[in-house]
Chains A and B, each alone.
Chain A
Amino acid sequence: MLEAIVQGVLLGGYYAVIAAGLSLMLGVVRFINLAHGDLAVLGAYLALAAIAFLGLPVWWAFALVLPVMAGIGWGLQRFLFARTLEGGFLLPLLATFGLGAVLQNGMQGIFGSETRSLANYMGNLSWAGWQLPFGLYVGVLPVLTFAAAVIVLGGLQVMLSFTKIGRAMRATSTDPEAAELQGVDARRVQRVATAIAFMLAGLAGMFLAMRAQVTPYAGPAQLIFAFQAVIIGGIGSLWGTLIGGIALGVAQSLGASISAQWFQLAGHFLFFVVLAIRMSSAGPTRERVLVWFDRIADALRLRTRGERKHAD
């Protein structure tokens, strides 16, 4: 039980990273990217390619993937996503759904459909771990992933709260036109946000391929987990995303300790419960829950109080 919770928390770090990218695009660009999971898998394959074809040392390959993903994000936002945004909300869905299919088939065409993993290149890191009291065993890799997640999400939160580009992102997210009236190049800001989101997807994909096997068709499942983490944690706050990722990871991990099939089912179950609570029309109960969510958000300083939609 304790073991499952600890493993779940660590797994949540991975979900938080993949969900943060999705959440950033939802929040800043108002864009639902259905190819987000496939982009994560692309990040993993890019790392594999850099190692196998370019012969780069492993960590250099990882470091190379991030700017490449950022560049892809920048270019796609510039030449594809921004245009689809002008055509209503359905067009981005169709375009990114298509992009996902292209990525899946492209990766299969180039790399084949057999499973791959980065674990083979990482020496003993993929199985090393620490023996803790109470018979707990934690892997070095999950701990590193979790630590990276906290650092990345913390860094993003600091950027959004305290930097010029972060303020421009928040302004653009509320009202792109009003942001332009203050001198913000809203389209450029959206490109920056997309570039960061793609980097996060790539990073998540590499984490995934370090601890598990991936295939070119692994993306959609990751997209679902990312959405679940975002919804459980609440849209628009990065700490919420971390909490959502952890909650999802713990649910899955506890589920898996019951039986293997329950790994995913428990996550879906938690997701539906949270969704049901948030959307139920149970009147005062619903309001109370929402106020409660708001209070937590306030306490964590995720939002300013004025944003509260639900009066006490």
Chain B
Amino acid sequence: MSALAVEAITSRHGLLTAVHGVSLTIEPGEVLAVVGANGAGKTTLFRTIAGLHRPAEGAVFLGGIDITDVPAYGRPHLGLSMVPEGRRLFTNMTVRENIQIACEQTGRSRKTFGAVLDALPVVRTLLGKPAGGLSGGQRQAVAIARALVTAPRVLLLDEVSLGLSPAAIDTVYETLAALKLGGEAAMVVVEQDLDRAMGFCDRLVCMLEGKIVLEGKPKDLTREEVSQAYFGLHKGSNAHA
């Protein structure tokens, strides 16, 4: 059974249709990269899956269960967690409290907390620090820890590397690669860096104006194809003119 299935989701912001009939499935342990230009609807799709945005049409299934009507706060408990665009840590709290909140609200154990710290040693050194004073890379690490402590079966990561230094991006992807090896959680990542996305994922979808315009395994896609889809140049075989 798929870990996550999105069926014909349409999401609007007022009159603007940001996501238009998108369907996706992700298998357990799979890593899916979502790419697409600014405004393509990636964040809206993620927010709809996480329950922060109500879809106008369509349904979301988690492990085969229809969660379309489950409120956002009920989803982490069921195994769906999202690292939102901009991380959005609780800046008035310590790193420990940031992670503790997710842990206690979803009823996970101290053991899970410990295991997450083992997987992200850098976070252990930051526990007592206020989350407001961290560097971008540190913040992303804490946001990932905060999501992992809910023991997700599906982890959504929006704009993984936005605003991070190249070194910090490497570190974040090392962490994610280790998670991928662990193989428990399926991951869906939004990544602007095409090479990065193609190098890391098992499968890639490209969104354009609210629709999926290209989907495939990285080995079956050329960079050329992907960037044409990204900029909307691929329509039909004679669109290159």
Pick the contact of B101 from A177, A182, A303, A304 — CB < 8 Å? A182
Mask: chain B, 78-95; 1 = CB below 8 Å from A; 0 = not: 000110100011111110
Residues of B bordering A, CB below 8 Å: 50-52, 71-74, 76-77, 81-82, 84, 88-94, 97, 100-102, 104-106, 129-134, 146, 150
Count chain A residues whose beta carbon lies closer than 8 angstroms to a beta carbon of B.
Answer: 23
Most B CB atoms within 10 A — which of A164, A181, A183, A304? A181
Residues of chain A within 8 A of B84, CB atoms compared? 177-178, 181
Pick the contact of A306 from B72, B82, B133 — CB < 8 Å? B133
B105 touches A184 (CB 8 A): yes
A304 touches B92 (CB 8 A): yes
Closest Cβ of chain A to B51, distance in Å, is: 8
Q: Given A181-B50, A181-B82, do A304 and B93 touch, yes or no (CB 8 Å)? A: yes
Q: Does chain B have a CB within 8 A of A305?
A: yes
Residues of chain A within 8 A of B93, CB atoms compared? 167, 170-171, 174, 304
Q: Does chain B have a CB within 8 A of A231?
A: no
Residues of chain A within 8 A of B104, CB atoms compared? 164, 167
Q: Does chain B have a CB within 8 A of A3?
A: no
Most A CB atoms within 10 A — which of B72, B73, B102? B73
A184 touches B52 (CB 8 A): no
Pick the contact of A182 from B51, B76, B94, B129 — CB < 8 Å? B76
B73 touches A183 (CB 8 A): yes
Q: Given A170-B90, A175-B88, A183-B105, do A306 and B97 touch, yes or no (CB 8 Å)? A: no
Closest Cβ of chain A to B88, distance in Å, is: 4
Closest Cβ of chain B to A204, distance in Å, is: 26
Q: Does chain B have a CB within 8 A of A186?
A: yes
CB within 8 Å of B: which of A138-174? 164, 167-168, 170-171, 173-174
| Given A304-B130, A306-B91, A306-B131, 9 new contacts (CB under 8 A) | A164-B105, A171-B93, A177-B84, A180-B51, A182-B102, A182-B150, A183-B76, A183-B102, A304-B132
A183 touches B106 (CB 8 A): yes
A183 touches B150 (CB 8 A): yes
Give Cα distance in the complex from A214 to B90, angstroms: 42
A171 touches B77 (CB 8 A): no
Give Cα distance in the complex from A185 to B150, angstroms: 15
A171 touches B90 (CB 8 A): yes
Give Cα distance in the complex from A262 to B240, angstroms: 82
Most B CB atoms within 10 A — which of A177, A178, A183, A303? A183
Residues of chain B within 8 A of A171, CB atoms compared? 90, 93, 101
Mask: chain A, 44-71; 1 = CB below 8 Å from B; 0 = not: 0000000000000000000000000000
Give Cα distance in the complex from A219 to B163, angstroms: 50
Q: Does chain B have a CB within 8 A of A86?
A: no
Residues of chain A within 8 A of B89, CB atoms compared? 178
B100 touches A304 (CB 8 A): no
Most A CB atoms within 10 A — which of B93, B106, B146? B93
Give Cα distance in the complex from A174 to B88, angstroms: 9
Enumerate the 3 nearest inter-chain pairs by beta-carbon distance, A residue then B residue, closest first. Answer: A306-B130, A306-B132, A183-B105
Residues of chain A within 8 A of B52, CB atoms compared? 177, 180-181
Q: CB-nearest residue of chain A relative to B150?
A: A183
Pick the contact of B88 from A167, A168, A170, A177 — CB < 8 Å? A177
Q: Does chain B have a CB within 8 A of A114?
A: no
Give Cα distance in the complex from A303 to B130, angstroms: 9
Q: Does chain B have a CB within 8 A of A307?
A: yes
